[in-house]
Structure 1
């Protein structure tokens, strides 16, 4: 894969399975260089053999399809170029979709009522005078913000207190009625249609206040709406499940907490028969902020008695952090377990146990269920995203029903990673993968370290690996201690000890791979990583000088300045590096930057609030002051998610700059070094160096 091949990466939404289980609808989006945006539409995918998927809509970006319970209408979110997404509904007879909302900052989530007569949706509500609500007042002309809390910004969102996420209820209009025509002239004063000025039906706001109200869904009988909120978000990570009636009355908290182990909860949903309330929960200890390497578990309670809650999965061995809850059959729930680089699909029954439906060398990302049929989206080394039917009756195999990565495989060579395990210096097994380029070698090696740190590399298609192997590099990836997928003890082993076991594990994995693979060039090693991976890269090159060059991207580089500058700094740094100044300094790459001799490329985004840009700027300046060869690459308008969801051109340019850096320090036949043209000596004025960037 080359940087120019990014538009071949199709991403799929969760499938909306029709109640008759004969077809499903999924959104398929991709990076589009022409629009410099992510474009895509909805596809109708037959679940019977012999039929082909077809494009159902033709919007600029249509996403998040969901069927009403009777299958009579299909809802989805549609975004026009440069505009926020709004809610649309398509009738069973197809035709033109009907727009239902004109939310100033867009709609982020919706759900149908059980009888299909209404929808509930989430939208951020801007404070009056901000975000374009007053004509002629732009961002620079808004009133100042008085900040009184720790939590007031979020990466990718910006300020949050002045645009909280609220819940709205909306009765569906007659989808067969004549289209709305905006009145003109004298008709404006006599128009009595109960719609907004833009012609959409009026929605009723159900919640208020300055906190976010997240992911509303109807109860099985339609009498209430479930959602989560964190009323004390500034003091802890604890959150609760609430219910409210569709008319905005009867607000009620449904969850209770063990004071010794309160929960951060999410994704409340009732079973199809209405007997059970499911939600996901992560223990955060008595302090309310001990989030480090805490696995997410599935909880269940009778809807008649929400206080009688039980935990259905063991957080020591199962982690449901990457995924939601999908009601299945009458009383079951489908959930997603990340383990040893895979993403499993589990079925949980409150009356029985937990069953693995799909496992193996793949990552199941989402699922839909209707009429006993389960459809999943997944990625593996050969596909960036496809749909498959789960063979529930015979051991949980999958039968693919789409091939949205066919063009990707036809145009590019896929390097399939090989799974390996090598012992760390204390004998601890370090699990990971090696991906090799074509040809006999010896190949220069890039050691790529994931972010998190409580995350994992795995079996899914990874554009980073494919770009580097295509350029002639062998890629090593592992899940050192601190990573997710191997139990909580594995993840918590670096709490207040960052740069200890994790450093030893990465270096041991490198040594182990070099010892058994003569096709790897042990004298030409590069190291790179983003976020926590940027941290461990910077830490490694201060303690080990075997690497020819490094890339430190969006790094967590100074725990001290992270507190107060990052959107999560007020609890994250304390959780991972502690609060003792000497202990924090002993885990800080900035504190040991004097030891760095490795040429280092520092890459960051200007709108990154998770690891603020000052982390990169100060680290780059420190390297320059110490005469370490270094460049700083800054992306305007991008945040912490640049490499995953940044604008397509910026993602392409990022890859091109990274390959140019590796061509400079670790050239290959596929990625050769630039010609070294002689440059004239610059004229110096009074001993001063000409200014440059």
Structure 2
């Protein structure tokens, strides 16, 4: 539904050849299910899905010679995941763990001598050689998100505190005592005097994330941590997912910029996140972007220290407005847009040391890509030029001189690995550094995402993917599943998805039709805007036309054996299909989907989302007539007849779980074959390993039951 404000082993010769194929190439080689040696590959099981080592967070050393990265492994039996951070050479890998035990969020000091990281919930520091290792913090609220001062003299980070314990400076004994009293209380009731008392999966208990600084000397010795925003009643950065991208230190180390949302009465229906600055030595924060009622976030100081770059949304209360790349003049406090006329989001950005260029990451037509724009006198000198765009590319990290870059690359048929490249030449030549999943992937029949375009609801071009079933064979007919993304302002990408994994869904022998209807990001802001106020309209038409176009292009997909599924808005649209096109599908599966729009308004936590999308609250007569009573799936409950699986997390505050319960009641009351699966310990996303295992068993089992012939071979979970 609503998106958060705000996002090493050797390779076999056969897989090296395979991975060089372009993602859009037809599946003649990739989906045949045979290695170069002729051995059949097998469909992916949940054990395989869980065995994938999730590589993330590459951090290139200032000199470009080393890279830090994290690897998360899953223990299904133990129902837990563990993250280990490695230090490797960019020239030849040779990884070594930086800590004895789990560690994450590793960051280089500006001189490359020290590494700050988080282990055991506290901040640590070690030298590159590993000879010196020290625990920097022992705070009750832990530490997360370390960011070095460019001078190397301090690290800023966040810690959870009780604001009233910080008004005279951080009193950690007070924090411990308050937590102890709360834990010992037999009363677990909570009270609220204003909205946003729940967010994502958490109830507001009174604590906040505050920004801290700790001095570090040349020998790696640390001083006492200092709360930079004592007494603040807001989180730095805003929840629920904000990280270290939400704050930065000035080049001279004297100032910290951060994004935060003031705790005002309208917090639940306002998107007014602002940028603030606070002296590193202490003092009152100063708001910089109060004039803009939209969201402003993720500050980055330019290397010359003259400006703060940040991402900004112009329209108030619209969380999916285009993120403009802005430059704020620190002397005049005036802001201007850097890339006027560029109809893409500025998701991340970095500047050349001499301010001759900027690199910007953005989603573009189903893939995350890196663009470069030349600068002259702090202004764009031409349109952004594509630098890295094959497959899906995120988390770019540059060397000090910007001559080397490391990043993550994945695709529908390849889990993420770290890549490195030089940016000095006319053409960037990516080189895969890590190979954690090569051995596993070489055993699996994984299909790429094949692009297709079709004529959408407005006669325009709309994009989608087709993913073939494992071991696809010409001449055979396969059932298909229409996959619908959430948001609705979001997008399916050519990526290895950690939840809605294409090849996992396809594993029992299904073809996937993966459409990015209007509302999807990466195709221009006008395309995004066209879903607002039209939830069941043109986006629905795009999906149906996309499915028809895919079926026409790929006649091996059996149009008489189609299913549809999605989560959040994708769940809403699946419910809309259930009441408006039941004849097109044999089975449906809804995860965390909206059923009753009126009830959803009063139950969700981020009210700004529903008010923007529906044009106001349900008691507004115009909004009620044009939206709530037009686009709510529950009004078509009498037309339910398609077998439907309903999945939901019980602590889902974005789309509360009784939306799924209400849908299940309507299905059961009318004797429609249906099944309800509720996860008491999950929210909007199902994340715990054993819960994911059950989720996939139910999802695959439901579609196998209704789409596959009774004599079809079954794929083991």
Give the TM-score category using the shorter length: 0.7 to 0.9
Secondary structure, counterpart of 2:690 in structure 1: helix
The one of 484, 491, 508 aligned to 2:521: 484
Do the aligned partners of 2:664 and 2:675 also contact (CA within 8 Å) in 1?
Answer: yes
Secondary structure, counterpart of 2:281 in structure 1: coil
TM-superposition CA deviations, 1:565-605 (whole Å, max 9, x none): 2121x221121122322221211112222211111100011
Asked whether 1:238 is paired with 2:272, we answer yes
Q: How does 1:80-119 map to 2 (within 5 A)?
A: 85-95=121-131, 97-119=133-155
Q: How does 1:107-506 map to 2 (within 5 A)?
A: 107-126=143-162, 133-135=178-180, 137-138=182-183, 141-142=186-187, 144-156=189-201, 158-160=202-204, 162-172=206-216, 202-207=224-229, 208-214=231-237, 215-231=246-262, 232=264, 233-234=267-268, 236-257=270-291, 262-284=293-315, 288-291=316-319, 293-307=320-334, 309-314=335-340, 317-320=343-346, 323-331=347-355, 332-348=357-373, 349=375, 350-353=378-381, 355-370=384-399, 371=401, 372-392=403-423, 393-424=425-456, 426-437=458-469, 438-440=471-473, 441-462=476-497, 464-506=501-543
Secondary structure, counterpart of 2:666 in structure 1: helix
Secondary structure, counterpart of 2:548 in structure 1: helix
Asked whether 1:38 is paired with 2:81, we answer yes
Secondary structure, counterpart of 1:535 in structure 2: helix
Secondary structure, counterpart of 2:442 in structure 1: helix
Q: Shift of residue 391 of structure 1?
A: 3.9
Do the aligned partners of 2:114 and 2:220 also contact (CA within 8 Å) in 1?
Answer: no
TM-superposition CA deviations, 1:353-375 (whole Å, max 9, x none): 45335343422211111122222
Asked whether 1:507 is paired with 2:544, we answer yes
In the aligned structure 2, how far is the partner of 1:147 from the partner of 1:500? Answer: 37
In the aligned structure 2, how far is the partner of 1:56 from the partner of 1:653? Answer: 33
TM-superposition CA deviations, 1:448-467 (whole Å, max 9, x none): 10111111112112362111
Evaluate the alpha carbon distance shift between residue 425 and residue 279 of structure 1 in structure 2; reply closer, same or farther with a 3 A threshold.
closer
Q: How does 1:541-560 map to 2 (within 5 A)?
A: 541-545=578-582, 546-560=584-598
Asked whether 1:585 is paired with 2:607, we answer no
Secondary structure, counterpart of 2:289 in structure 1: coil
Secondary structure, counterpart of 2:494 in structure 1: coil
Which stretch shows the higher mean deviation, 588-597 or 662-671? Answer: 662-671
Asked whether 1:605 is paired with 2:649, we answer yes
Which stretch shows the higher mean deviation, 7-16 or 612-621? Answer: 7-16
Do the aligned partners of 1:418 and 1:433 also contact (CA within 8 Å) in 2?
Answer: yes
In the aligned structure 2, how far is the partner of 1:136 from the partner of 1:249? Answer: 31
Do the aligned partners of 1:444 and 1:666 also contact (CA within 8 Å) in 2?
Answer: yes
In the aligned structure 1, how far is the partner of 2:323 from the partner of 2:253? Answer: 28
Evaluate the alpha carbon distance shift between residue 625 and residue 169 of structure 1 in structure 2; reply closer, same or farther with a 3 A threshold.
same
Evaluate the alpha carbon distance shift between residue 654 and residue 594 of structure 1 in structure 2; reply closer, same or farther with a 3 A threshold.
same
Do the aligned partners of 1:13 and 1:28 also contact (CA within 8 Å) in 2?
Answer: yes
Runs of 4+ in 1 over 6 A off after TM superposition: 127-132
Secondary structure, counterpart of 1:586 in structure 2: helix
TM-superposition CA deviations, 1:33-54 (whole Å, max 9, x none): 2432221211223222xx2331
In the aligned structure 2, how far is the partner of 1:505 from the partner of 1:143? Answer: 47
Do the aligned partners of 1:120 and 1:170 also contact (CA within 8 Å) in 2?
Answer: yes
Do the aligned partners of 1:541 and 1:598 also contact (CA within 8 Å) in 2?
Answer: yes
Aligned counterpart, 2:693: 652
CA-based RMSD: 2.5
Secondary structure, counterpart of 1:165 in structure 2: strand
Do the aligned partners of 2:268 and 2:608 also contact (CA within 8 Å) in 1?
Answer: no
Evaluate the alpha carbon distance shift between residue 549 and residue 330 of structure 1 in structure 2; reply closer, same or farther with a 3 A threshold.
same
Evaluate the alpha carbon distance shift between residue 444 and residue 526 of structure 1 in structure 2; reply closer, same or farther with a 3 A threshold.
same
In the aligned structure 1, how far is the partner of 2:297 from the partner of 2:211? Answer: 15
Q: Shift of residue 175 of structure 1?
A: 5.8
TM-superposition CA deviations, 1:130-176 (whole Å, max 9, x none): 998443643863575432222222114x1246122211111237867
The one of 103, 106, 112 aligned to 1:62: 103
In the aligned structure 1, how far is the partner of 2:412 from the partner of 2:577? Answer: 29
Evaluate the alpha carbon distance shift between residue 119 and residue 264 of structure 1 in structure 2; reply closer, same or farther with a 3 A threshold.
same
Which stretch shows the higher mean deviation, 519-528 or 132-141? Answer: 132-141
How many pairs are equivalent? 630
Secondary structure, counterpart of 2:430 in structure 1: strand
Do the aligned partners of 1:357 and 1:395 also contact (CA within 8 Å) in 2?
Answer: no
Q: Shift of residue 89 of structure 1?
A: 1.2
Do the aligned partners of 1:445 and 1:524 also contact (CA within 8 Å) in 2?
Answer: yes
TM-superposition CA deviations, 1:315-364 (whole Å, max 9, x none): 761123xx433344343543211111011112344343453353434222
In the aligned structure 2, how far is the partner of 1:333 from the partner of 1:104? Answer: 40
Do the aligned partners of 1:557 and 1:589 also contact (CA within 8 Å) in 2?
Answer: yes
Aligned counterpart, 2:675: 631
In the aligned structure 2, how far is the partner of 1:212 from the partner of 1:176? Answer: 29
In the aligned structure 1, how far is the partner of 2:119 from the partner of 2:536? Answer: 44
Output the TM-score relative to the length of structure 2.
Answer: 0.83
- Of structures 1 and 2, the one scoring higher in RCO (CA 8 A, sep 6+) is 2
Aligned counterpart, 1:679: none
Do the aligned partners of 1:130 and 1:142 also contact (CA within 8 Å) in 2?
Answer: no
Q: Shift of residue 447 of structure 1?
A: 0.8
TM-superposition CA deviations, 1:236-277 (whole Å, max 9, x none): 21122111112321522223535xxx3301110102232321
In the aligned structure 2, how far is the partner of 1:357 from the partner of 1:516? Answer: 30
Do the aligned partners of 1:663 and 1:673 also contact (CA within 8 Å) in 2?
Answer: no
The one of 6, 16, 20 aligned to 2:63: 20
In the aligned structure 2, how far is the partner of 1:176 from the partner of 1:571? Answer: 45
The one of 589, 597, 601 aligned to 1:563: 601
Q: Shift of residue 425 of structure 1?
A: 5.3
The one of 105, 113, 116 aligned to 1:72: 113
Do the aligned partners of 1:319 and 1:339 also contact (CA within 8 Å) in 2?
Answer: no
Evaluate the alpha carbon distance shift between residue 671 and residue 61 of structure 1 in structure 2; reply closer, same or farther with a 3 A threshold.
farther
Secondary structure, counterpart of 1:273 in structure 2: coil
Do the aligned partners of 1:470 and 1:670 also contact (CA within 8 Å) in 2?
Answer: no
Secondary structure, counterpart of 1:557 in structure 2: coil
In the aligned structure 2, how far is the partner of 1:131 from the partner of 1:170? Answer: 20
Asked whether 1:662 is paired with 2:703, we answer yes
Evaluate the alpha carbon distance shift between residue 420 and residue 486 of structure 1 in structure 2; reply closer, same or farther with a 3 A threshold.
same
In the aligned structure 1, how far is the partner of 2:457 from the partner of 2:646? Answer: 30
Q: Shift of residue 670 of structure 1?
A: 6.4
Do the aligned partners of 2:273 and 2:295 also contact (CA within 8 Å) in 1?
Answer: yes
In the aligned structure 2, how far is the partner of 1:56 from the partner of 1:670? Answer: 46
Instruction: Show structure 1 runs of 5+ residues with no match.
Output: 80-84, 178-199, 675-693
Aligned counterpart, 1:192: none
Q: Shift of residue 310 of structure 1?
A: 1.5
Secondary structure, counterpart of 1:263 in structure 2: coil
